[in-house]
Amino acid sequence: MNPESFIKTARELIPTGQGKPRNTNLQRAVSTAYYAMFHCLAGSCADTLIGGLHAGRGSDTWTLTYRALNHRSAKARCSDKESLKRFSAHIRVFAETFARMQEQRHRADYAPDAGFRKSQAIQRINEAENAIRNFEAESLAERRAFAAYVLFKGRE
């Protein structure tokens, strides 16, 4: 799943121009921006730990690794500021944005009275897109270390 496609879809849910968009469109846009980040991270976990396009993508092992990313535990790991200190600034920003976007997705998807302004939804999309872009520009070693961090529980 391509994170850029999720970002594009999120933007398409918000009409350009002066009209006020339906709140359901704004909610879906925020939720979709989170899923751009989630699939970016899941793909990075599988690519960095198993292999990218020519080294196993599409194999059962790659798919198993992709699907191993758990929303709740990933958010918990991305919220642990002390443990995140070992990573680069871009990885830390990605992690913090991921955790914040998951909270926004829950609000968008589950809160019956969740209201978003057009400017808020656009800001969330932009935050997700920037975090993804900077995350993907990080070194393979840094992304691999982060993949292991979010997928594997450490021992006390």
Q: Residue 51: its pLDDT value, please?
A: 83
Tell me what pLDDT residue 56 has. Answer: 63
Residue with tokens 């200190």: 85
For residue 24, count other CB atoms closer than 10 A to its CB: 12
- Domain boundaries in the chain? 3-151
State the Cα–Cα distance between residues 144 and 136, nearest whole angstrom. Answer: 11
Residue type, 9: T
What value does the mean pLDDT take over residues 82-95? 97
pLDDT score at 29: 96
Residue 48 has what pLDDT?
94
CATH classification (class only), 3-151: mainly alpha
- CA atoms 131, 1, 83, 30: torsion sign: positive
Counting residues of the chain whose pLDDT is more than 70, the rounded percentage is 94
Task: Answer yes or no: is pLDDT of 17 > 80.
Answer: no
CB 79 within 8 A of CB 99: yes
Asked if pLDDT for residue 58 goes beyond 90, the answer is no
Gap between the Cα atoms of 9 and 29, Å rounded: 8
Instruction: State the average pLDDT over residues 55-70.
Output: 85
Confidence check: pLDDT of 68 > 90: yes
Measure the CA–CA gap between 152 and 24, rounded to whole angstroms: 36
